[in-house]
Amino acid sequence: MRPEILFKLFSPITGLPGIGPRNAKLVEKLAGAKIIDLVWLLPREIIDRRYSPDIANATPGMIATLTVHVEAHSAPPNRRQPYRIRCSDESGQLTLVFFHARADYLEKLLPVGETRVVSGRMEHYRDDIQMTHPDHVVPPEEASLIRRVEAVYPNTASLSPKTLSRAVSAALEDLPALPEWLDPAFRKQRGWTDWQSAVLQAHAPQDATALSPLTPERARLAYDELLANQLTLAIMRASQKRAKGRSLQGNGTLRRAVTKNLPFKLTDSQAVALREIQDDMAAPGAMLRLLQGDVGSGKTVVALIALLNAVECGGQTAMMAPTEILARQHFATISTLLEGSGVRTEILTGRDKGKARQKILDRLVAGEIDILVGTHSLFQSGVEFKDLMAAVIDEQHRFGVHQRLSLAEKGRGVDVLVMTATPIPRTLTLTVYGDLEVSRLTEKPAGRKPVDTRTISLDRLPDVVEGIARALDQGAKVYWVCPLVEESELSDMAAAEDRHRELSARFGDAAALVHGRMKAADKDAAIERFATGSARILVATTVIEVGVDVPDATVMVIEHAERFGLAQLHQLRGRIGRGEKASRCLLLFGQPLSESARSRLRILRETEDGFRIAEEDLRLRGAGEVLGTRQSGLPEFRLADLSAHAELLAVARDDAGLILDKDPDLQTPRGTALRTLLYLFERDAAIVNLRSG
């Protein structure tokens, strides 16, 4: 149960002044439906209304707050003309200008003969000093309410800033003083105030420097949010470790046979990752581990060897991928590596229907399939295992956490290995996967050659096509990736179809096409033509970003590379350089190039290290963009900025660990305050997972 002290904060915004049903919808879209959502909506800029000159000395372009005498109203002959009100002080005249205004409203707001305080931007128009649509008009006794630094909030076009500011001010009234959850010595060392004061100060910036995420009040609030996140993940991890697992220690026969038949020697980091995984599987608790590896670092082999440990123990295993292309790729790789081993493998995707699908399901429940590879189909109802012992989930950031859990629930104490080829910055690994132990593959298998990456202006497109013709003559295979189309009625599919048409005119049937709206069977057929050699150019959208493995492909052309994110460009480039031949990636860019696009292309030329690229991507774009917040399971932080607060995240992780070591059930006075913190940031699920509930 949420503590009573938080009840008001979690009541609906409709209780705030000016927030009726229409405005409530706008505020909800902007921030959320509860009062706490407006508490978290911090100002993004300020307007200083303390500048109060007389009319004649007011600087044009500045925001000024003036005390004026209202002299006369001049209503226009029609609605297209502005309504003007002449005002004055001892130094001169000021005209207030209003468009589409109602005369009765203005006569009430600015009565002739009265004194009013007006605040807005000063303008000179012909010989007139004027102010168009003042932001504030109040009687002199209320001047102190507007002659101050005003906070400006992030907003949506349909909501008046005044209404939003009033609602935020009302949300901050009666803000409760919450019990302190921070360690007193740590708080003193940082120079941080209590939670209530930090919120009020963050909403009352006195200058532009107060908007920095590194101010003491904003840093304190960011730390509270990060601590709630890390404490939640630590509680989940502890709960996972308490979950009954099974100690899986096979006899090693299948693993030794597969390792012996590999065409390459395992890298040192593959060997270390395997040791970590096998230790987890041997432990009595259920394994939950993340295997992070750059493009081409050999994750699939590590995952297969881990699954074979469970098969040696007489159990069944599953490998789940986000797309059919990737699932079929994994199935092909695994089937090749297991040839002659006697291990029974099968694939199940949305394409399998009717009797064929039922046959697979019957064999699965009878225990006649050892390794089942598939897509989302695997965690659907009706897919029953006889004894599922271990599961691998690839490209986890494309699945939600609940999907990870629903696959694990198809067995008893299932060991789960999560894989991703999207290198994730360390800071994001902590926030997205903090409930998992992490293994990293940092080397590429022997024999991989570096990719020569070049940037070329799109003006030189004819030269690029000629270069492709020469590469084809020498036996190369070429990917040609078409651009993401921005703010246009065109889709990237149309761009791909146009480019395919042009390349087909030059190279005939050698050019194949693949895009996201094709039927799965047609997509597979095009990729198969490219893989087996009848097609030599594959024109594609970003559907080839993961899971297309053609070692003969040595050239990658990415059109309008400036429109792609760094991580995505790195993933696309990872489709080449997979064989022993030298490979080349051509990044074609359109003019003019923005500064951040220039930075992205420069970083790609400089390095192939996915982890460095991921850190740069985070720095350039921010956390929400890096993974695509919604599908990634990345928490949407309201107060923390992961590029500014990375150091605080590491502190919060250590703090969460120490807290649970000393007080695993959060029962001490600080523990009780921390429960309030978890409820404040809506981490209710964590409290349910505490042993004492």
Q: What span, in angstroms and rounded, lies between the C-alpha atoms of 182 and 180?
A: 6
- Of 22, 20, 42, the residue nearest 31 (C-alpha): 42
What's the pLDDT score for residue 122?
Answer: 97
- All structural domains of the chain, each given as residue ranges with its CATH number in brackets, are 4-45+169-205 (no CATH), 47-152 (2.40.50.140), 218-242+646-689 (no CATH), 253-441 (3.40.50.300), 451-607 (3.40.50.300)
Helix pair angle (646-662, 669-680), 10° resolution:
130
pLDDT by residue (tens digit) across 343-396? 999 999 888 888 999 999 999 999 999 999 998 888 788 899 999 999 999 875
Q: How far, in Å, CA of 299 to CA of 173, rounded?
A: 54
Sign of CA dihedral 556, 423, 515, 336: positive
Helix (H, G, I), strand (E, B) or coil at 68: strand
CA atoms of 238 and 409, how far apart (whole Å): 18
Global pTM value: 0.66
Write the CB contacts of 75 (distance below 8 Å, at least 6 apart in sequence): 83, 103
Return the pLDDT at 622. Answer: 57
Running DSSP on this structure, what letter comes out for residue 244? B
pLDDT, residue 121, reads 97
Measure the CA dihedral 624/630/634/640, to 10°: 40
- Residue from 336, 328, 266 nearest 302 by CA: 266
Nearest-10 Cα torsion for 532, 536, 537, 543: 10
Q: Are strands 123-125 and 128-132 parallel, antiparallel or unpaired?
A: antiparallel
What angle do helix axes 268-282 and 299-312 make, rounded to 10 degrees? 30
Q: What's the alpha-carbon Rg for the chain, to the nearest Å?
A: 31
DSSP strand pairing (511-514 vs 477-481): unpaired
CA 87 to CA 131: how far, in whole Å? 11
Integer Cα distance of 182 and 169 in angstroms: 26
List beta partners, residue 89.
92
Residues 6+ apart with CB under 8 A from 263: none
Instruction: Give yes or no for a contact between 466 and 473, defined as CB atoms under 8 angstroms apart.
Output: no
Q: Provide the angle, in degrees to the nearest 10, between the axes of the packed helices 646-662 and 426-433.
A: 40
**pLDDT recorded at residue 78:** 86
| Other Cβ atoms closer than 10 A to 622 | 13
Residue 624 pLDDT: 47
What number of CA atoms fall less than 13 Å from residue 216's CA on the CB side? 14
Q: Where are the alpha helices (DSSP H) in 452-609?
A: 461-473, 492-507, 520-532, 566-573, 595-606
Place of tokens 């198969």: 528
The whole-number pLDDT of residue 628 equals: 40
Strand partners, 68: 116
**Sign of the Cα pseudo-torsion (467, 469, 475, 476, in order):** positive
Question: How many Å apart are CA 15 and CA 10, to the nearest integer?
Answer: 11
Give me the pLDDT at residue 631, please: 34
pLDDT number for residue 630: 35
Average pLDDT of adjacent 10-residue blocks, the chain of 693 residues: 93 93 90 94 94 96 97 91 96 95 94 97 93 96 93 86 92 95 96 97 94 96 94 82 84 94 88 96 89 82 97 96 84 92 93 90 96 88 92 72 69 88 69 74 75 93 95 92 61 77 93 84 85 89 66 91 84 82 92 87 88 76 46 64 84 93 94 96 81 46
CA distance 246 to 461: 59
Tens digit of pLDDT for each residue in 248-263? Answer: 999 999 999 999 988 8
Reduced to 3 states, what is the DSSP secondary structure of residue 489? coil
H or E stretch covering 145 = helix 143-146
Q: What is the pLDDT of residue 633?
A: 42
Beta bridge partners of 348: 374
